[in-house]
Homo-oligomer: A and B are copies of this chain.
Amino acid sequence: MDKILRVRMSSKPEYSIEEVGDYAGIGGRALTSKVIFTEVPPLCHPLGPENKLVIAPGLMSGSAAAISGRLSVGCKSPLTGTIKESNAGGQAAQVLAKIGYAAIILEGESPEGKLYTLIVRKDSVEIVPADDITGLNNYAAVEKLVAKYGEKCAYMSIGSAGERKMANSSIAVTDMELRPTRHCGRGGVGAVMASKGIKALVLDDAGCSVRKPVNDEAFKAANKEFIAGIKKHAVSGQGLPAYGTNVLANVINEAGGFPTNNFTTGQFDKVHNISGETQAETETSRGGLATHGCHRGCVIQCSGTYVDKDGNYITKQPEYETVWAHGANCGIDDLDAIARMDRMDDDFGLDTIEMGATIGVAMEAGLCEFGDAEGAMKLVREVGEGTPLGRILGSGAAVAAKTFGIERAPVVKGQAMPAYDPRPIQGIGVTYATTPMGADHTAGYAIATNILKVGGFVDPLKPQGQIELSRNLQIATAAIDSTGMCLFIAFPILDQPETFNAFVDLINAFHGLNLTADDVTALGKDILTWEREFNKRAGFTKEHDRLPMYFKRERLAPHDAIFDVTDEELDQVFNW
């Protein structure tokens, strides 16, 4: 991880391999955000040659540290116009780190829109025309790539949405079964990869070893303690493995914060039909899997496999946010339909949150009725076909609302809110409003403390305490997103001091460092500062750190809640 691969796209693509230099000692989101902040002109067009796409494994990726396989992709986002870090599981981070790259940086543009495959091996880099897979969606493209490059590589690819440079296009990352099911979903990163002329990456770690810790014994001890801590905690050790992330459906619905029918009510009367419990039972009864990891080294196993009534694979277990987006948010209670939309999203290369939120907006605009699963599936297919309607829907909820002439787009900075209504869960509203990423639950997951009572408790219905909560979570998250560790380690490390200590020990033992908790906090603050400074130079102000006005006007049942954290309070989030 002491090299950077820099690929310059033009009519004559070329690359160079550099020392990591000024970017040494950081990984994941810290690295992507530092490169974008340092090298990309903030006023550039996201699809223009001045933008860059940075692909970085975490600081611990490729090692034996538990659950360290998260990948960060960074750029200026075509969806939001802000800096963007989009994060996925799958195999790519581990493989890329083992090959020895701290980052791949894609620069320039492909003049005639020609697409290439970038093949990265221990001792070679190739940029070859992707004519064989151009025009294919992710499943078909990956199948062809696997046939050609083998089952030991990790693959990243864009589908038709990315090729069409849609603002909601993702980059797919293959999972352990070589399926393109893990996505850098948010912010349209797929369109940026397309604008650089890259259809797919083949990451081949043949001949590479697991990265070795500086202090092997301390590392092993810390890892053991860390894993024990993860398994001990009720959320990461029981809830998530048993039911996957969709364990939240009943919980958030009970809290009255389950956005239903495009954020018009906070409870879905058919939640039972799409809950994690029902989903797990459906999966196991049909021969699917309710417990499974998204990458090697995962000790939580919150994923799974969703199969049809005949036991045939449809998609990986749809996540809570996906089940919500294509389910409750559209009034849909049909798990099979939701799974088929998840499959289409993965195949076309679309963020499921943005896609479901966009269909909610389209339903409000009258394109089909809330609850119409067939109608919703037809809308997703339009995106895959690239029809004019598909172009609208593939541009995300904000553009769709503008195009249809309606006010009620649940977005911040052009990005759709995920599966938690900010009115009865005000802490997450603070995160939506203020994170440099546009509405994003993962940027500061206040649900932990507002609802799950992890890391204490802050009453979700009141504005008091939400600023501090979101601030602390945003700082911690930025740091965690830099390690390659799955964000779900936050549950045990917030609640169990010994697990937090093991987490820090793990990093120290691996890198031969003496970081303290304060250093972790300082890193989180640095990352947020780079990101916010980029956004400021791109024209973002405190006025963009706001929820849409209707969240302060329209009360949400059952709590009759509006978002009542004041603007002045919001402006204090980064005043540390």
Contacts and interface: CB of A to CB of B under 8 A. Distances in A.
Given A45-B549, A48-B549, A549-B41, A191 B405 contact: yes
A162 to B, nearest CB: 9
Contacts of A403: 391-392, 395, 399, 403
Contacts of A553: 49
Interface stretch (A149-157, A179-187, A525-533, A534-542): A534-542
Contacts of A405: 47, 78, 164-167, 191, 194
Given A42-B543, A389-B388, A543-B42, A402 B399 contact: yes
B407 A402 contact: no
Contacts of A406: 47, 165
Interface in A530-567: 537-541, 543-544, 546, 548-550, 553
Interface in A399-441: 399, 402-407
Given A50-B549, A399-B399, A539-B541, A391 B407 contact: no
Main secondary structure of the interface of A (DSSP, over half): loop
Contacts of A543: 42-43, 537-539
A47 B408 CA distance: 10
A206 interface: no
Nearest to A547: B43
A569 to B, nearest CB: 16
Which of A45, A546, A553 counts the most chain B CB atoms within 10 A?
A45
Contact of A549 (B43, B402, B537): B43
So how many copies of this chain end up in the complex? 2
Given A388-B388, A391-B404, A550 B191 contact: no
A537 B194 CA distance: 36
A128 interface: no
A67 B165 CA distance: 49
A548 B539 CA distance: 13
A50 to B, nearest CB: 6
A45 B550 contact: yes
Contact of A541 (B47, B78, B541): B541
Contacts of A537: 543
A382 to B, nearest CB: 8
A126 to B, nearest CB: 27
Contacts of A387: 388
Nearest to A45: B407
Contacts of A391: 388, 392, 403-404
A24 interface: no
Which of A392, A406, A544, A548 counts the most chain B CB atoms within 10 A?
A392
The 9 closest A-B pairs by CB, nearest first: A165-B405, A539-B543, A388-B389, A388-B388, A45-B407, A391-B403, A48-B407, A47-B407, A395-B403
20 contacts: A44-B549, A45-B407, A47-B407, A48-B549, A49-B553, A50-B549, A78-B405, A165-B405, A167-B402, A167-B405, A191-B405, A194-B405, A388-B388, A388-B391, A391-B404, A392-B403, A395-B403, A399-B399, A399-B403, A539-B540
